[in-house]
Structure 1
Amino acid sequence: MNHRRSYLLSLVACLAGAGLAAYGATRTWSLEVAHRPGMSDLRTPQTGADVAPWLIGLALVALAGTGALLATHGWVRRTLGVLLTLAGLGIVIGAALGRAGLDVGEAGAGATFWPIACALGGAIIAVGGLTAARQGHLWPRMSARYERKGPQPQSPAPGSRPAGTPVPSRTKPADGPADSLDDRPVDTRAAWDALDRGDDPTS
């Protein structure tokens, strides 16, 4: 049996066993009927959860542990397998002890069937948990697409300048040559003399 197959079977076993155990624990295990002349009978049912309240709690632990198997790996997953095994065995023992000392009254076949169903669910959980404890470190991990990723770097917008790039200066050096006539110094006295002579000072 390959690891992926045992992984899926263990998950299904724990889920199905927890559901069966929880359902069996909520059914009627005992029914006391008090017959009253001239009045309706007084019926007092007891479920498996009434007889052994921890059965529901262990079934919920098994459900939570099955979900945790999906999100863990390595020795953590194997530890969860041990806890699932103990939870399943606790359900089996609790169902057996609860039924052993119970006066079933007029519960009929349900007084036998539902405790057995609850114990069977616990046994299935224990088998799935034992498989996880033995092979959990060999099972595949959750896909990387479900893991949290850090923020992705944003690409610069078209035409934008990357951060840290120096901006070229548009100022002409003070000691550089003049690039145009506008950059040359203006002699105001010569301009006035040209106007006095009737010449164009801008030529």
Structure 2
Amino acid sequence: MTALPQPRTEQQDETGGTAASVPPTAADARPAPDRRSLALMLLFAVVGAAVVLLAAGRTWARGEVAFQSSVLHVSATGSQTTGLPSALALVALASAVAVFAVRGNARRLVGGLLALAGAAVVAACVGAATGSAALDRRAAAAVGLSTATAGHVTHAAWPWAGAAGGVLLLLAGLLVIARGRDWPGMSSRYEAPERRRVGAGTAAAANRPDHTPADLWKALDRGEDPTA
């Protein structure tokens, strides 16, 4: 009894002939980088930091303080209320850039730092949205009395805008932790020129045939050890 022939897996080419199928290589099986989530992370980080820095320069609270027979109006901006959101926004931007320079667990740590900065921005802005400590300090400085406090205090919406920016930074950090392993890293073209030059010279030397006697004499003239 004869065995049945196995089905052929060859493919026909354009001329009608057959071509043997090529097995997939490791490069073909490698998943494509998740650039969509990477772009979303960058968008969240840049927009969130920009919103926080913009809100920090705006007036967050206004009030009045009585001085003798007059009433003085006082106000406090976000940076005068607390300098934490602005500093954390810059930390978040630096963390977003550092994502491209690291991989693996180090990238997750950077994402954790970015998320922590965003959460701290939210906490600082929400705490300042209803407080009047900064305005009281401004009132005391205006009248020269440490016991003076501001009255008729009103709060603007800018602290909540800063908190929204902090939420975006938090989301950017969570994206790094969840999807950062699928993102591309920094290309070798960003390495130092000397390092690239040394690597190229090493590769050329590996591909070069054995040294001739003339090459050995030239090496001695340059003060090099040809036996090394």
For Structure 1 versus Structure 2, the TM-score category normalised by the shorter chain is: 0.5 to 0.7
Question: 1:93 and 1:126 mapped to 2: Cα distance?
Answer: 12
Aligned-CA RMSD value: 3.1
Counterpart of 1:134 in structure 2 is 178
Q: Contact 1:83 / 1:129 at 8 angstroms: preserved in 2?
A: yes
Q: Contact 2:103 / 2:185 at 8 angstroms: preserved in 1?
A: yes
Q: Quick one: which of 49, 54, 57 aligns to 2:84?
A: 54
Q: Quick one: which of 12, 19, 26 aligns to 2:50?
A: 19
Counterpart of 2:215 in structure 1 is 163
Question: 1:78 and 1:59 mapped to 2: Cα distance?
Answer: 19
Gapped runs of 5+ residues in structure 1?
A: 156-160, 167-203
Q: Quick one: which of 88, 99, 123 aligns to 2:167?
A: 123
Alignment of 1:63 with 2:93, yes or no, is yes
Structure 1 or 2, whichever has the larger Rg, is: 1
Equivalent pairs: percent with the same residue?
A: 32
Counterpart of 1:84 in structure 2 is 114
Query: What number of residue pairs does the alignment pair up?
Result: 158
TM-score, normalised to structure 1's length?
0.66
Report the secondary structure of 2:75's partner residue: strand
Question: 1:47 and 1:79 mapped to 2: Cα distance?
Answer: 33
Q: Could you say if the C-alpha distance between residues 107 and 25 of structure 1 is closer, same or farther in structure 2, counting changes exceeding 3 Å?
A: farther
Q: Could you say if the C-alpha distance between residues 106 and 67 of structure 1 is closer, same or farther in structure 2, counting changes exceeding 3 Å?
A: farther
The structural deviation recorded for 1:147 is 2.3
The structural deviation recorded for 1:107 is 8.0
Alignment of 1:6 with 2:58, yes or no, is no
Deviations 1:28-55 (A, max 9, x none): 011234588998x744221122222211
Q: Quick one: which of 110, 129, 141 aligns to 1:99?
A: 129
Gapped runs of 5+ residues in structure 2?
A: 1-32, 136-150, 206-212, 219-228
Report the secondary structure of 2:215's partner residue: coil
Counterpart of 1:112 in structure 2 is 156
Q: Which amino acid aligns with 1:129?
A: G
